[in-house]
Chains A and B, each alone.
Chain A
Amino acid sequence: MSIDLNFIGILIGAIMASSVPLILAASGELITERSGVLNLGVEGMMIIGAISGFALMVVTDNLFFAVVGSMLSGLIISLIFGLLTQSLLTNHVATGLALTIFGIGMSAMIGKNFVGIPGKEFPLLFINLKESIPFLGPIFFGHSIILYFAFGLPFMTNYFLKKTKTGLIIRAVGDSPTSASNQGINVTLVRYSCILYGGAMCGLAGAYLSLIYTPQWIENMTGGRGWIALALVVFATWSPIKVLIGALIFGGITILQLHMQAIGLRIPVQLLSALPYIMTIIVLVVISRDSRKIKLNTPTSLGQIFYKEK
């Protein structure tokens, strides 16, 4: 019996690991969206984070530089989005799409020389505890530091948005940029900061994939996770704690379908691989059906261009 329990513990640990990139990207995007900015470039920022993290790991042989560098590159590429949408007042949706297309192309261009290079082992914490405690060990221990950070992030985000003054300012900017501006808040500056923060988190999410989850560089390795993270924000009705729950559900589906593939059930592999995408659609339908609930929670100015006459 204890062996079975331990297996379940390992399974839960795997689900947690596969939900990390979703938690990071969705938490970052959540802050961006709370300030009224819809950045559809999550997939592009993640893939840039993935390649720059991996490339820096290979070049510097230092995982710390790799992780910090991936966040910086996510931040830099989101700056393009910020410049366009905030200073040149472009359409958020179109600019985000351009960012994704650009990011995927750019990552493949940089990544050309890094295909096939094996990754480096990322240090996992409390390995001995993982092995000595059955069931709970594999759940709570033996993960990378990024995983622990990711699981704390939704709670920190929640506290930040609800209890701090800066959080209040971000929400005010997202819900009513005009009144926030009249209160003397620099709306553009707040939105810039939120965009950059979102970019850094997406970069980190990408680095988690290329450094820890599947430690190598593969073209297009984010495989739609950025879009699922965007869907998660809607699913969570812009609440950070629900992002965590949603990410675990999607991590669960991913791991479940991988296990079903491994067992060799007589279900086509492709159908199993399509499950996370189909589930995303179903979940979105269920959540969005109640249009009042969505309206109540959506940042009022989401995706709208703010221009202050000088």
Chain B
Amino acid sequence: MIKIEKRNDLSRSIYFLTPILAIFLTLIGGGIIFYILGFNPIEALKFFFITPISDLYGLSELLVKATPLCLIAIGLSFCFKSNNWNIGAEGQLIFGGIVGGGVALLFYNHDGFYILPIIILSGAIGGMLFAMIPAILKTYFNTNEILVSLMLVYVAKLLLDYLVVGPWSNPEGFNFPETRQFSESARMPILFDGLRIHAGIFITLITVFLSWLILYKTYLGFQIKVSGLSLKTAKYAGFKGKTMIIIVFMISGACAGLAGVGEITGPIGQLHRNISPDYGFTAIIVAFLGRLNPVGIIFASLIVALTYLGAETAQIFLQVPKYTGQVFQGMILFFLLGSDYLLFFKIKFLGLKKNEH
């Protein structure tokens, strides 16, 4: 017989072990899906998770993908920790990319060390402003931030589409839906010759450190955590709820905007229709998988980045669509949420006649 009992205390080890369990279960689930599709599951999983990172180029690609994912997820962790559901990071990324890209296009025939910092800063501000729309509507008009932030994703995508097809399209580009190439001074420095890994990774790492500082060492971080645990307590303690909501949205918008700017000045080098393969949505999974913890998010971003690479490799070798990556991402989140059950409940196998304690 199995007996289920409520836990009285939260076990920290289980808290950080369940993500690993979730990944393990996802591998099993993925193997089953590959089997149904008619592949040898072990072979397919090898193509998916090992082949992509078995050389230096692959490892660099892993970091290229993890850089924006980690950055966005860090920003989202501020929102999620305080129970603000910003799920429009994709829109904030695109809008940051638009603003940063616009500045980069202004300087397309200029050179100078000052250009890149201006672009990065304007991208962050762009993302931040875009995230303030749902925040302000939530605080002053009581509007559901989930729906507003999501609707704005579609708006940002259409705006980008309008710009690259219309006013910003490359005058010498034969009507391709893309802008001019940015100048060399507007590009993120490449770290190693022949690889795509770029200086954006330092922005991510600095942001991780800063967010740790804010979350665990400042009064604001304390407010965020308390509001997440209990809104009533936060109100009772006299925290300014509205200001805090706007601040967490600004932080996560700025992070998403930075990620957008990192993409267009890093691997892409111009604006076109698809500047992000849904990094903004996938980062939600990264944030949860990393337990909203800065260090956890670093590891989670690497694992989820691998699903992107794996999907690309599997597309080439197994001819499965690249969306397989999304299936894996959805499964990770399902299993992660499901295994949280172990956090709150003990499962006891009564047949074993074990004594408690």
Contacts and interface: CB of A to CB of B under 8 A. Distances in A.
A265 to B, nearest CB: 15
A99 B161 CA distance: 28
Contact of A284 (B144, B154, B328): B144
A120 B135 CA distance: 45
Nearest to B137: A285
B330 A91 contact: no
A102 B330 contact: yes
Contact of A90 (B147, B158, B282, B340): B340
Interface stretch (B200-208, B234-242, B250-258, B319-327): B319-327
Interface residues of B, number: 45
Contact of A101 (B142, B166, B285, B340): B285
A103 B330 contact: yes
Interface string B317-357: 00011011111111101100110110010000000000000
A221 interface: no
A288 interface: yes
A224 B149 CA distance: 13
Chain A contact surface mostly:
helix
B195 interface: no
Interface residues of A, number: 46
B333 A94 contact: yes
Given A94-B288, A97-B333, A285-B137, A270 B161 contact: yes
A274 B155 contact: yes
A167 B238 CA distance: 41
Given A274-B158, A284-B144, A284-B148, A99 B337 contact: no
B141 interface: yes
Nearest to B154: A277
B320 to A, nearest CB: 7
Interface in A257-309: 268-271, 273-274, 277-278, 280-281, 284-285, 288-289, 291, 294, 309
What are the 3 tightest A-B residue pairs by CB atom distance, in nearest-first order?
Answer: A102-B330, A105-B326, A108-B323
Given A105-B323, A109-B327, A277-B152, 4 more contacts: A80-B334, A94-B333, A104-B326, A278-B155
Interface of B: 6, 85, 87, 137, 141-144, 146-148, 150-152, 154-155, 158-159, 161-162, 165-166, 281-282, 284-285, 288, 320-321, 323-331, 333-334, 337-338, 340-341, 344
